[in-house]
Structure 1
Amino acid sequence: MDILTEALSSMRTGQPASVRTEGRAPWGLRLPPVAGAGFHVVLYGTCWLVPLEEGAAPIALSPGDVVFLRDGRGHALADRPDTPAVPERPDQFRPSLPIGTVSIGGDGPRTSLLCGNYHLDQARPHPLVRQLPEIVHLQTRHGRHPELSAAVQLLGAELENPRLGSTGIVPALIDSLLLYILRAWLEEQSPAGAAGWAAALGDAAVAPALTAIHEAPSTAWTVESLAGRAGLSRAAFARRFTSLVGEPPMAYLTRWRMTTAARLLRESEAPLTTVAARTGYGSEYAFAKAFKREFGLAPGGYRREARAAAA
């Protein structure tokens, strides 16, 4: 079971949106908050990411750098931290294949970025994503994160010189980039000082329990049965799980069951009895009661709203 893929899939509500940003100094672009998570990839040149919160330090970005903004907060991009940033104007956008381009600035040194956002459900973020820093900054130069670096280089090549197939390749690469970003961040954490999910996914006791929950949410798991798989006492396992995952084992089990149920309701035509059985509930009534307590909507109403929003 690939818990990282499952966690992200549980939050996705649509395909990523992206645009290529071409800036020539002096330039500054103010970007509003987005629903989901934002990202930037520096393809060529250098620039600065300027947080809008008072006292937050600007971040210098170089070729190959990747930035992930966990909650899609507003921010600015500029050739220098003190360059005034202005909102994007419609006349700066140029439709082109495989994605559109925004051009801004004067006639100085050029910077090229891929900018966009992933449509993630921030109302119910998975704990793995919730524990990320607000801004994740990854550098791929000097052999760091070779897979992420390769994805960035492939994106840059397709955007610089679009060819046959680019309109299919670029969206697929952008979609995969999210997994590469989170994998790189998790691997970047020091094994000795890792905490939270960075430690949980490699923990000899917690990781098998998480895998069991994800693989078989319909199983009647108890703290005792999960502790048995981990080779720990009930109390020791519960403390360790709660410390790393951020919530007790049974709370996480319920969360994952409800997350799985919501995906089935959004993405399939499975009847409620089937959804209930696949998420560990003995009856449709018990499932509906638990689902409404978690989401504030009956399963049927949730399915209708999700379908309407996707239409």
Structure 2
Amino acid sequence: MDVVSDAISAVRVGRPFSQRVRIGGSWCTRLAPYEGAGFHVVLEGRCWLLVDGGAPVELGAGDAVLLPHGTGHVLADAPVGAEELARAVPFERWADGTVERPLLTPAHAGGPVVEMLCGKYRLDRSHVHPLLAELPPLVHLPGRADGGDELGAAIGLLGREAGERLPGSGVALPSLLDLLLVYMVRAWATGGGSGEGGAWPAALGDPVTAAALRALHDDPAAPWTNELLAAEAGVSRPTLARRFTALVGRPPMEYLTWWRLTRAAALLRDTRDPLVSIARRVGYSSPYALSHAFRREFGTPPGRYRAGR
């Protein structure tokens, strides 16, 4: 596994929800803050998005936006002022989560039409990887005119699956939505898209730190030491410690301990594997050793943590 894959897998739970909506005329709708991450993909036309406390962003066909922290926001056909914001209609008025229907029926024929795919990912925020925690409130990924990149290809497939209800769409659509999430987080982590930068894009762009992270995520159960990890990254131990700590925010072995316990928490949540198996998979010699470290990190023993999920 790699850092981006692991960071997403550790927090993603359940199936994503999506709804294709077609909007015309003059409209303004508000989506309240929520647990999880939201997204919008513009399939046709143009609209405006205003994140709570942020600046308005114009979206065009092929654009995708990720709201990784579930920040409240407004969607509208045009830039909105205080008066329009006060009249914004709750999104739930038209979308009850079970039946697809137009967000708004135009009061008159004609006029610009916007078609979007709107949805949410369910996330367990109890122990979020710092890469995801560092994401800005809004990640905007403008579409390419020719739609020839991987994101454009995914958006094209999503639009078809969400609109035509083809045989197998019940399996294909959630998988494509998961792929969309990976593409959006990857674009930010590798410096693409618009949005605030952070330490993690720099960490993944640094060859020494990236090599060490890749090794730790490829095999977190290995008996890593600073010496072995430095050799894997091709540098001296002091060089690795300095660069890794500066970019990741904690020393290599401290990060490894944190990641092992985070993986253990995800396995407790998502599987029924016995504790002895989980301990072995994340690098602990016994269930007792894992339980001791787990309680120190999470404030509760593994069994109680699992029962509460």
In the superposition, the TM-score normalised over structure 2's length comes to 0.88
The one of 135, 158, 163 aligned to 2:161: 158
Distance change in 2, residues 1:274/1:155 (3 Å): closer
SS at match of 2:23: strand
User: Are positions 1:279 and 2:256 aligned together?
Assistant: no
Distance change in 2, residues 1:144/1:245 (3 Å): farther
1:128 is matched with 131
Which whole-Å CA distance do the structure 2 matches of 1:122 and 1:145 have between them?
34
1:69 is matched with 67
* Conservation of the 8 A alpha-carbon contact between 1:93 and 1:101: no
2:57 is matched with 59
Which whole-Å CA distance do the structure 2 matches of 1:221 and 1:252 have between them?
12
Which whole-Å CA distance do the structure 1 matches of 2:138 and 2:95 have between them?
27
For residues 62-101 of structure 1, the aligned pairs below 5 Å read 62-82=60-80, 83=84, 84-90=87-93, 96=99, 100-101=100-101
Aligned residue identity for 1:67 = V
Distance change in 2, residues 1:231/1:115 (3 Å): same
1:309 is matched with none
The runs of 4+ residues in structure 1 deviating greater than 6 Å are none
Aligned residue identity for 2:124 = D
1:26 is matched with 26
* Conservation of the 8 A alpha-carbon contact between 1:94 and 1:102: no
User: Are positions 1:198 and 2:196 aligned together?
Assistant: no
Aligned residue identity for 1:238 = A
* Conservation of the 8 A alpha-carbon contact between 1:18 and 1:115: yes
* Conservation of the 8 A alpha-carbon contact between 1:148 and 1:184: no
Report deviation, 1:227: 1.6
SS at match of 1:205: helix
SS at match of 1:104: coil
Which whole-Å CA distance do the structure 2 matches of 1:45 and 1:79 have between them?
10
Which whole-Å CA distance do the structure 2 matches of 1:132 and 1:145 have between them?
26
Aligned residue identity for 1:32 = A
> What are the superposed Cα offsets for residues 279-302 of structure 1, whole Å, 9 maximum, x if unpaired?
222232221121112122210111
Where structure 2 has 5 or more consecutive residues not aligned to the other structure, the ranges are none
Which whole-Å CA distance do the structure 1 matches of 2:292 and 2:37 have between them?
31
For residues 27-42 of structure 1, the aligned pairs below 5 Å read 27-42=27-42
The one of 114, 117, 124 aligned to 2:117: 114
2:2 is matched with 2
* Conservation of the 8 A alpha-carbon contact between 2:19 and 2:162: no
User: Are positions 1:261 and 2:268 aligned together?
Assistant: no
Distance change in 2, residues 1:87/1:222 (3 Å): same
Which whole-Å CA distance do the structure 1 matches of 2:94 and 2:151 have between them?
33
User: Are positions 1:303 and 2:306 aligned together?
Assistant: yes
SS at match of 2:155: helix
1:182 is matched with 185
> What are the superposed Cα offsets for residues 36-84 of structure 1, whole Å, 9 maximum, x if unpaired?
111110111111101222xx21000001100001201111101112244
The one of 130, 139, 143 aligned to 1:140: 143
> What are the superposed Cα offsets for residues 180-227 of structure 1, whole Å, 9 maximum, x if unpaired?
11223334449xxx8632233343212221122112222232223212
Aligned residue identity for 1:225 = L
RMSD (Å) for aligned C-alpha atoms: 2.3
Distance change in 2, residues 1:195/1:85 (3 Å): closer
Report deviation, 1:241: 0.6
Distance change in 2, residues 1:22/1:218 (3 Å): same
* Conservation of the 8 A alpha-carbon contact between 1:94 and 1:101: no
Which whole-Å CA distance do the structure 2 matches of 1:42 and 1:26 have between them?
17
2:222 is matched with 219
User: Matched residues, percent identical?
Assistant: 47
In the superposition, the TM-score normalised over structure 1's length comes to 0.87
Which whole-Å CA distance do the structure 1 matches of 2:113 and 2:90 have between them?
19
1:17 is matched with 17
